[in-house]
Amino acid sequence: MGGPSATHKEESVSHAWSTTEEQSSALGLLHRLHAYRSVGESFEPGPPAVSTPRTKIGIVGAGVVTSGSHLPVLVNMSEVSVEWVCDRSLPAAQGVARAYGISGAFGDLTQCPDVDIVLVATPVGSRRAVVPEVLARGWHAFCEKPFALTLSDHELFMNDAHARGVQIGVAQVRRYAKPTASARALIRHGVLGPIERVMAADGFHMRGTGRGGAWHLNDRAAGGGVLGEFGSHLIDQVLYILGATSASVRECTQRVHRGLELASSLLADVSTSSGPPIPCSMDVSLLDDLCNGVYIEFADAMLRVGLGFEDALTLLSKDGEPISDFAMRDGAESPVQGFYLEWKDFLRQCRTGEPSAIDAGTVKTTTALIDEASRTRNGAVQAPAA
């Protein structure tokens, strides 16, 4: 997989930016970003912008990730024009469109006029009804994570896009965070030697199930459950840092409450282009406060990779004592910059046909591992009521 052109907690980017003050803040940051382009894994001054037709964007899904993360970036990018928002709840589509000055709002995708690219920001369980229709219209598709419930769906969408000559990508924005991008560079260059094992965790104690609320807490057919929703960030971060070529599950256990999967523990063997498979344990939980981060163990030290854009990349002793933080050259330093850079990458991919760091093909190992873990779990333990 190629590195991002420049290289989180989900909760840090999913708040709604609906006020004038918040949009002005985003606008100020993006004005500064326009002076740069992402090249390889660093920022370099770009040439003056050339006047070209604006790329037309449509959005399917009027949820929080649309209004709180993508639109604050898209409406401030001079090279694009957001034409419409579509949601099965027409009032929701109208509300988001009105908040961002977008002219079109629709309740049915068949009613939407032609665009160049569509952001698919619906729950993963709806993708089989949405993605094929988007591709059939000849539109490039940029899909929120998790991309697909199964590897077969993932390959189906990729093959359909290829057959129709359009591009398809996945919004794995954590790949662009400074700790992730910098750790990937260290691993790629073998600075700390061979990896012995990896331990990764992303968890906190949730006060309620969220049933009837946030869709990512619903069953797997809707949002993917905790393994698909939170796991798709953490698992992808681990695989991306390691430069994984494949991965296989040793064991997977889950904790459920009233039919909801609220915690998953996964042990996998991850293969790379060199060396033996690396044992990786990954835990995601809405029940427990975990020691969050990606911990990569070497013969004489450990590397802790923060999950967020503002987090550190720290060298630890074998017993976990901090030694030093790395100065991180690569990557984005804020969620806004991360979303901006992934859109810049995907826009470039659509123009040139060259796969970017978030091309759907680069996320296939992530989908495959989550799919295998969900199918081969060793058991589901009932979580006690709070």
Write out the chain's pLDDT in tens, 386 residues: 444 443 333 333 233 333 333 344 444 444 444 433 333 333 333 454 556 789 999 999 999 999 999 999 999 999 999 999 999 999 999 999 999 999 999 999 999 999 999 999 998 888 999 999 999 999 999 999 999 989 999 999 999 999 999 999 999 999 999 999 999 999 999 999 999 999 999 987 766 555 455 444 445 555 557 787 778 899 999 999 999 999 999 999 888 776 677 888 999 999 999 889 999 999 998 887 888 999 999 999 999 999 999 999 999 999 989 999 999 988 999 999 999 999 999 999 999 999 999 999 999 999 999 999 888 765 554 445 44
The residues with which 140 forms a beta bridge, in sequence order, are 117
Q: What is the dihedral of CA 347, 351, 357, 362, to 10 degrees?
A: 120
Tokens of 245: 């070529």
Task: Please state the domain count of the chain.
Answer: 2
59 close to 12: Cβ distance less than 8 angstroms: no
CATH of the domain at 104: 3.40.50.720
CA distance 263 to 270: 21
CA distance 56 to 369: 34
User: Is residue 2 situated within a structural domain?
Assistant: no
CATH of the domain at 247: 3.30.360.10
* Kind plus residue range of the DSSP H or E element containing 82: strand 80-86
CA distance 240 to 173: 12
User: Is residue 111 situated within a structural domain?
Assistant: yes
User: Is residue 1 situated within a structural domain?
Assistant: no
So what's the pLDDT on residue 14?
30
In this structure, the answer to whether residues 146 and 206 fall within a common structural domain is no
In this structure, the answer to whether residues 254 and 339 fall within a common structural domain is no
Residue whose C-alpha is closest to residue 109's, from 92, 135, 126, 130: 130
Residue whose C-alpha is closest to residue 106's, from 97, 114, 115: 97
In this structure, the answer to whether residues 182 and 327 fall within a common structural domain is yes
User: Is residue 114 situated within a structural domain?
Assistant: yes
In this structure, the answer to whether residues 230 and 86 fall within a common structural domain is no
Tokens of 8: 């989180």
CA distance 329 to 386: 44
Tokens of 67: 């209004």
CA distance 297 to 303: 7
Residue whose C-alpha is closest to residue 200's, from 157, 247, 153, 264: 264
- Which residues span the domain enclosing 69? 10-174+335-358
So what's the pLDDT on residue 16?
30
CA distance 331 to 310: 11
In this structure, the answer to whether residues 163 and 288 fall within a common structural domain is no
C-alpha angle 176-344-273 in degrees, rounded to nearest 5: 45
User: Is residue 112 situated within a structural domain?
Assistant: yes
pTM attached to this predicted model:
0.82
In this structure, the answer to whether residues 231 and 348 fall within a common structural domain is no
Give residue 256's identity as a one-letter amino acid code. V
User: Is residue 132 situated within a structural domain?
Assistant: yes
What percent of the chain is helix, strand and coil (3-state, nearest 5)?
Answer: 35, 25, 40
So what's the pLDDT on residue 50?
54
Give residue 10's identity as a one-letter amino acid code. E
Give residue 350's identity as a one-letter amino acid code. C
